[in-house]
Amino acid sequence: MSEKKQESFTVTDRRLFTAEGEVRKDISEEQVSTSTASVPAANDSANPHAATVLESRDGPMPPAPTAVEQQEQADAYRKSSKDLDSRVEQSGHSAKELEMTFERFMASLYMTAMLQLGLMQEEGGQPRLDLIGARQTVDTLNMLSEKTKGNLTDRETSFLQNCLYELRMAYVEVTNALAHPPQAPASAAKR
């Protein structure tokens, strides 16, 4: 039998920040400033909106684009959307199918939460459970409900409240099932 050569390697975590966005304890401020120095400056012509420094969630926000920049971008977006719409129409479909409505947005979040709860899956795929993601999606829907109070039609309000009700119930059922899995009957355990 031939002798196998054993190889070894070292993995070095070079991420500067934790998942919470804080500077890692084993990283010096000098390393952070050196790494962020390669971030394009705010006046960089290639990316005029690039942040000059990576800041914490509570730090100041980069300046908003000017009104002229916003208008130019909005015009470019509309032109690109019209081009896509014409290609969709040429393929025999309706561009109306692409329009985003509040109800479609809510349905998208609803479906995302159901996937995250493992209650739905892609065709041919396995269910995946992401309780934290599901909770964040439900919390997002709740936040939208609070922030849009008085600004929705009766139909939109009803749709949003139904989505929230069903998702909260599903979340509770899934988390309860995980916390208290079904027990085998005592008679089956003796066999």
- In this prediction, residue 35 carries a pLDDT of 47
Where a domain ends, among 97, 114, 148?
Answer: 97
pLDDT band at residue 121, thresholds of 50, 70 and 90? confident
Where a domain ends, among 97, 119, 142?
Answer: 97
The 3-state DSSP class for residue 104 equals helix
Same domain, 81 and 53: no
User: What is the distance between the alpha carbons of residues 85 and 159, in angstroms, rounded to a whole number?
Assistant: 28
Residue 120 counted as domain residue = yes
Residue 10 counted as domain residue = no
Q: What's the domain range around 130?
A: 100-179
Q: From 104, 110, 129, select the one nearest 118 (Cα to Cα).
A: 129
Residue 119 counted as domain residue = yes
> How does pLDDT run across 80-98, given as a tens digit for each residue?
999 999 998 999 888 888 8
- In this prediction, residue 93 carries a pLDDT of 87
Q: Which residue has the higher pLDDT, 49 or 64?
A: 64
Task: Give percent above pLDDT 70 in the chain.
Answer: 67
Residues 6+ apart with CB under 8 A from 138: 113, 164, 167, 168, 171
Same domain, 105 and 170: yes
- In this prediction, residue 54 carries a pLDDT of 46
CA diameter of the chain = 77
Residue 68 has pLDDT above 70, yes or no: yes
User: What is the distance between the alpha carbons of residues 27 and 22, in angstroms, rounded to a whole number?
Assistant: 11
- In this prediction, residue 188 carries a pLDDT of 55
Its sign, for the CA torsion 107, 109, 115, 119, is negative
Q: Which H or E element spans position 72? A: helix 67-90
The domain total for the chain is 3
Same domain, 106 and 142: yes
Same domain, 132 and 171: yes
- In this prediction, residue 191 carries a pLDDT of 54
Distance of CA 167 to CAs 11, 49, 110, 171, Å? 41, 37, 7, 6
Where a domain ends, among 62, 86, 116?
Answer: 62
Same domain, 134 and 115: yes
What average pLDDT does the structure give for the chain?
A: 79
| Whole-prediction pTM | 0.58
pLDDT band at residue 53, thresholds of 50, 70 and 90? very low
- In this prediction, residue 5 carries a pLDDT of 60
Same domain, 135 and 163: yes
Same domain, 104 and 167: yes
Q: From 96, 101, 103, select the one nearest 155 (Cα to Cα).
A: 103
